[in-house]
Structure 1
Amino acid sequence: MIRLENLTKTFRVQGQVKTVADGINAVLPAGVSIGLLGRNGAGKSTLLRMIAGTMNPSSGRVVSDGSISWPVGFAGSFHPDLSGAQNTRFIARIYGVDTDALVAFVEDFAELGPHFHLPFRTYSSGMRSRLAFGCSMGIRFDTYLVDEVTSVGDAAFKEKSEAVFHHRMKSSGAIVVSHSMPMMRRLCTIGMVLEEGQLHMHDNIDSAIAHHMDIMHA
């Protein structure tokens, strides 16, 4: 379970205040995959980072009784001069999991070939996302935060990504951001829509998508 308590986040952009979370109070249930929808710039990635703890709110707090992954697709925690393999080993030590097992999983999953042993700074954005997704899916979390990453790669890689995700969902939950409505329907059970700093909860993903589409066409 993740609880958002009066969660507020504001930015100052070109002298104006932008609010992406305006006193949000919500309970996100455990063990289900939740689709997070909203227009571009609504603050979806910012909300994920606050839930992960990689960004502080302006006020309020996030409370959780389980482990939460970093936002998959966010590669800011990787050291640019270390190789993919070295970064993976470092993450394994931080989270207290078997280093060799995680390296083997990520090397097989990410399909980076020789680049797995080259510096992270040489990676394309797609390669960085593959590494981040592999590292996250290779570690057991109660809640996975997934930001568009399953859209990276060819059809075979997307299929493999979704298969790994569904396997993890047998024992965990997730919060998923994607601009693909078919993907949202495949991956998520319930949904929520972030609009003008407010989070609107829906007990099924189709209802959330309908709400989102109404906003987009307004």
Structure 2
Amino acid sequence: MLRLASYNIRKAIGTDRRRRPERVIEVLNELDADIVALQEADRRFGPRNAAIPTHLLEEHSDLKPVVFGARDRSLGWHGNAILVRKEFEIGEHAMLHLPSLEPRGAVLAEVEAKGHQIRVVGMHLDLSGLWRRRQAHAILKHVSERHADMPTAMMGDLNEWTARSGCLRDFGAHHVFADTGRSYHSGNPIARLDRIMVTPNMRIKAAGVHRSANARTASDHLPIWAEVEL
């Protein structure tokens, strides 16, 4: 059993408009996930420093980042990052370039976790429905060119407000969505912008939205989670 999570941390700026990365780490510790996809994990301007300093992760959590090397002080690529338990082995990993009008990307990592191989893709898709679908097709193409039978989980902020159409239809042709629930806005969740989906060779055993007091103030998105069996 693996516990997966996805969390748009809004550059560690909470609903109180204060940047508090230690509060985000508290939420991550509450989640107790084995693998986490983060969105908006880097600051927006300048050298794009990580919103959560890596030394805080090292000192105060059981997680480590997959190092993509895009920027020295970044957690990932275009704000997307993948965190895994410190004892997990990280195999092949890559930054995925996506078609876009504004800077967008996705990240991919193959991880050995609890004796199993799993591929994880983290993403934050466009506000435009047309570009979201193009980005979904690009991600699916990237994944299809790798080991086809490796269990794969895709997670992130899809920015899709519709229930079944748009990019959800594209991803849903090959993946099963976890019924996590509404995660945006954290103060009054009305939309399922954040999603976790897996290939059919994984079983979703449970899923939900993490609604702690810390989570309600740490970001404008609540984190989502899913427990899966390989």
Query: TM-score band (shorter)?
Result: 0.3 to 0.5
- TM, length-normalised to structure 1: 0.37
More helix per residue: 1
More RCO (CA 8 Å, sep 6+): 1
Larger Rg computed on CA atoms: 1
